A = this chain, B = another copy of it.
Amino acid sequence: MGEPARAPHDASPLSDPHLREHGLGGVVLSRGRFLEVRRDDVLLPDGNQATREYVVHPGAVAIVPMLDDGRLVLERQFRYPVGRVLLEFPAGKIDPGEDTLACARRELLEETGYHASQWARAGVVHNAAAYSTEGIEIWFARGLSLGTQRLDAGEFLELCLMDESELEQQAASGELTDVKTLIGLLWLQKWRAGLWPLDWVDAGSAAPEIINR
């Protein structure tokens, strides 16, 4: 047990004592160029011990970019681990110290070339809570204007503009399998139906500097 246990981001350590596990320390199983994997010993609610193995992830953002004509900006990208091209909303990992809106603006610009004048945070989702610390912050973007796409080296993707009904058809037919994109679609439809509100903020006043990062 060479390193102290990572403290999970634990808002209410006293709640749910019949369910809660407590970290007792752990080790790094592997530290690759992109992925770090840990194993921690944990104290179970009944006093026994177990181990938990998980990927340490910096967190990510996903963006639901809405053009003024109602179409959505999506990407088609080959995902090697699943061996297929997925249709996805733009997304990316949060840099160290970066706030989530700054990350959302950066990823939208880099991957699609679009700036947005207004942003709204929908919420956070956990996509692999059994074995990854990742949370995906979902942001909506509107008031889009086209700048210049700046893909990372080794990043290949194809932009797709489609309206909500086309995306819905992709989901209904089973073609749309990416979780953040399905959840973005859900949130979009709830928002358009007046059920789930979004609080929009002006991009200029929120984080102007990161456009030029």
Residues of chain A touching chain B, judged by Cβ–Cβ distance below 8 Å, are 7-12, 15-16, 18-21, 23, 29-30, 32-35, 37, 39-40, 42, 44-46, 48, 50-55, 76-86, 123-135, 154, 156-158, 171-172, 174, 177-180, 182-183, 185-186, 190, 195-196
Determine whether the beta carbon of B183 is less than 8 Å from that of A50: no
B172 & A9 in contact (Cβ 8 Å cutoff): no
Q: Which of B8, B19, B84 contacts A77 (CB 8 A)?
A: B19
Given A80-B54, A128-B132, A183-B182, A30:B20 Cβ within 8 A? no
If the complex has contacts A33-B53, A157-B19, are A79 and B126 also in contact, measured as CB distance less than 8 A?
yes
Task: State the majority secondary structure of interface residues on A.
Answer: mixed
Q: Which of B8, B53, B83, B172 contacts A10 (CB 8 A)?
A: B83
**Known A-B contacts A10-B83, A158-B19, A190-B172; A126 and B29 likewise in contact (beta carbons under 8 Å):** no
Q: Quote the shortest CB–CB distance from A60 to chain B (angstroms).
A: 8
> What 7 A-B pairs come out closest when comparing CB atoms?
A8-B83, A30-B30, A79-B129, A54-B81, A179-B179, A10-B83, A29-B30
Chain B residue nearest in CB terms to A93: B130
Q: Is the CB of A21 within 8 A of B80?
A: yes
Provide the residues of chain B in CB contact with A178, threshold 8 Å.
125-126, 129
* Set B45, B52, B179: member contacting A81, Cβ < 8 A: B52
Q: How far is the CB of A163 from chain B (nearest CB, A)?
A: 16
CA distance A82 to B195 in the complex (A): 28
